[in-house]
Amino acid sequence: MNLVKIDGDNLTLEEVETVALHGVKVKIDPKAVGKINKCRKFVQKIVDAEQTVYGINTGFGKLCNQRISKKDIEKLQENLVLSHALGVGPFFSQEEVRAIMLLRANVLAKGHSGVRLELIQTLVDMLNKSVHPIIPEKGSVGASGDLAPLAYMALPLLGKGWVIFHGKIMEGREALRKARIKPIKLSSKEGLSLINGTCVMTAIGVLALLKAERLVELADMAGAMSLEAALCTPAAFDPNVQKVRDYKGQRKSADNLINLTKGSQIREFHKACPKVQDPYSFRCMPQVHGAVRDSLSHIRSVLEIEVNSATDNPLVFPDQNKVISAGNFHGEPVALAMDFLSMAVSELANISERRVACLMNPEISGLPAFLIREPGLNSGFMMAQILAASLVSENKYLAHPASVDSIPTSIDQEDHVSMGTIAARKAREVLKNAEEVLAIEFLAASQGIDFRTPLKPGIDTNRIYHLIRKRIQPVVKDRLMGVDLSRMKELMRGGFK
């Protein structure tokens, strides 16, 4: 993909990722230009007629009854951006900032915000020339949208604030000069349109969801390898079982697990095993991994709507001769989805850690204790499981929903807030932890399969096993395992290709 066109209606989650992670260029779709200009003319008509309309020539929030004179409108919009740029904490990554900028430009291109075409083009030019605003992570309550972080995004358009350009931190004005982009002066409603919306929580959510969708595929792979290492049976994955509880995600994970282990010599050798049932962490993988899949499907449907939604306020409808003050900026749909994402992905890590623990327990797996030949002299995978336990425990408090909290702001004008950006940030951290846990499981499962030699695992699990062993040698005696973990994550991120 060489170019992503934006029109406010057709942006995909995958396009967001290509722009954010791979620097794909962005262009305003010519089909959007007419509706952008039409909406802007309608706003200008209101200004010229000196009608009193919220967000165009009034104060904001609790100050909505304060009418602003025509001569002060530009200053009003600039003051709004300056006053709202107040946040703290670490900065969003450049990839996340790129996603935020793209979503904001796409929302404005929808043609219900009333901004000038040149403002959207300036934002797109910054994105295409890698002028990345520095945006602190903390400061949004997710109700009037992501006011504080979006204000930081908007500052460089005015030649203010700070950015990262060509790997260097510099003032916004200097970066625009070097990138040959002219800073703009905000006109009526434009400051409000830039900072009012859910683009920050949604951007983080999109990148997190796509990572989660890849992670659930990896969970099936890791689980299949652990199944073979522990001499467990795939009988519970039989299609007949899935048909009588007909969840799409459950069917998909069960099919994956059967296909991954197809042709397994280990399984054929152990068919006469006297074990009646396997632990739930093996037997119930389709039910758990599948429920995560179905959860991610719902979250995707929310984000696909949100990336192409007008979420600022007021919204302009020139064809109906209306400017409507409403609440599309409220982040509740995304907030609930992000809390759901945290809970779902936490479960992938929870069940993965249990499989690692089973592999190390000779009473369950029949493998040497701690997956090492000389336990006692060597600790083997003892600390790997402890690390996994630590991470899943951390995920348990990160998965506590942010969206159930609400603190009134703006002198009670904004009396219910979503905390959506906090929810999205937490989901991102849960994903990082879950990836680490699955990497530990891949290492442990590979170590278990080593002990089953000369028997070979299934065709697909064997392929994954050999890819791992090309990069990471078996643990024969204690060594530093941090390097192994890093290499394992690289293989996972490459999709074992």
Q: Which residues are catalytic?
A: 54
Residue 235: CA count within 13 A, CB half-sphere: 12
DSSP string, 319-373: GGTEEE---TT--HHHHHHHHHHHHHHHHHHHHHHHHHHHHH-HHHH-SPGGG-S
| Three-state DSSP class for residue 316 | strand
359-364 own/partner pairs: CB under 8 Å, 24+ apart: 359/226, 359/229, 359/230, 359/444, 359/445, 359/447, 359/448, 360/385, 360/444, 364/230, 364/279
Amino acid at 176: L
Comparing C-alpha atoms, which of 165, 272, 149 is closest to residue 204? 149
Helix, strand, or coil (residue 402): coil
CA 1 – CA 392 distance, rounded (Å): 37
* Runs of H (alpha helix) within 129-195: 147-154, 172-179, 190-195
Task: Output Rg (C-alpha) for the chain, integer angstroms.
Answer: 26
Q: 317 — alpha (psi -120 to 50), left (phi > 0) or beta? A: beta
Which residues contact residue 139 at a Cβ distance below 8 angstroms, ignoring those fewer than 6 apart?
86, 87, 88, 89, 148, 149
Q: To the nearest 10°, report the CA torsion of 261, 262, 263, 266.
A: 30
Which residue bears the tokens 């600390």? 383
Asked if 181 contacts 122 with a C-beta cutoff of 8 angstroms, the reply is: yes
How many residues appear in the chain? 497
* CB-CB neighbours of 356 under 10 Å: 28
Strands, E assignment, 29-180: 88-91, 131-133, 136-138, 162-165, 168-171
Cβ within 8 Å of residue 274, ≥6 positions away: none
359 CB-contact burial (10 Å; exposed 0-12 / middle 13-18 / buried 19+): buried
Q: Which tokens go with 271? A: 């068919």
Alpha-carbon dihedral sign for residues 215, 219, 220, 225: positive
